[in-house]
Amino acid sequence: MDNMDGVAIGNDSLDFSGQTPDDFSHEDGVIEGTPGNAKDEFVAIGGDFAEKAKKASQLETMSFEERIAHLRTVVSSNPLQRELLYKTLKYCSTRRILPDVEESIASYPEFSGATQSPYYLLLFLVNGGGIDAFDLDEEGNAVTDEQKLGLSEDEIDDLVVQYAYETNEVGKYLIEEMNPKNRLIELLDIIPEYYDTYIEVLDFLQEKQSLANIDRLLRGREVLMVNRAAGDRPIQSSVFIDKLEKAGGIYWDGGWCISPEGKELLETLQGGLGS
């Protein structure tokens, strides 16, 4: 089995200039989950192992707060994949083997719009310093660098039979920070005049809806002119969709749907109003 010690971390290791997301996609969108395939894809999108290993020490020189800020930037700079990255951090709070992580990522509704494979998304979080990677032996124990000392490549291949991933303390901090419930509560407080409309849209999306249906729901509402000068055009209904999606309250799955976190908050708020 090929050694994965060269998995890199740090923003500089993610220089994909001149390439598009489609360069990283696969016909079925999912790597089979074998460590061999994972290593092959790492080489394809990450480059030379030795060069990446040199950059892996970058995060080690950062303070805990700087590492959090770095991971936050990594996740927030990928808005199309943001919820997938958040959910992967959360799923890997318990150590998981590679095939299980890939299967979990591919099962999320947001993955239908992803342009990268599950392994690429996982690697992005490893590179960003939010998830640690481990080599495992046949009994499921982590293989240390000390165990590999003096072994040939073939002997290391025989020793390492699987890869595992676990969210570290930096990643866990970001999980709490990115909790959709917290993001939604913050969103509802930003512009008080939008509060009732956000709640109405969340309720409307308990059944899957097209943007056209949402537009018809809100068309002509006075709320679309909040903070707009006389003579200005009203804001688009898509603004509410964009804000709710960024907060993790809704997602796209062939139509706009309320997320589990959005539904939980909606029920809490509606229950409070009814009490």
pLDDT tens per residue across all 275 residues of the chain: 444 433 333 333 333 333 333 333 333 333 333 334 444 443 333 334 444 444 456 788 899 999 999 999 999 888 888 999 999 999 999 999 999 999 999 999 889 888 889 999 999 999 999 999 999 999 888 998 899 999 898 998 889 999 999 999 999 999 999 999 999 999 999 999 999 999 999 999 999 999 999 999 999 999 999 988 888 899 999 999 999 999 999 999 889 999 999 999 999 998 765 44
Report helix, strand or coil for 165: strand
**Which residues of the chain are in CATH 1.10.10 domains?**
180-274
Q: Say what the pTM is.
A: 0.72
The tally of CA atoms less than 13 A away on the side-chain side of residue 59 is: 27
Q: Which two tokens stand for residue 131?
A: 């998830």
CATH of domain 180-274: 1.10.10
**What does the block give as tokens for 141?**
């124990």
Contact between 224 and 237 under an 8 Å Cβ cutoff? The reply is yes
Give dist(CA 215, CA 210) in Å, integer.
9
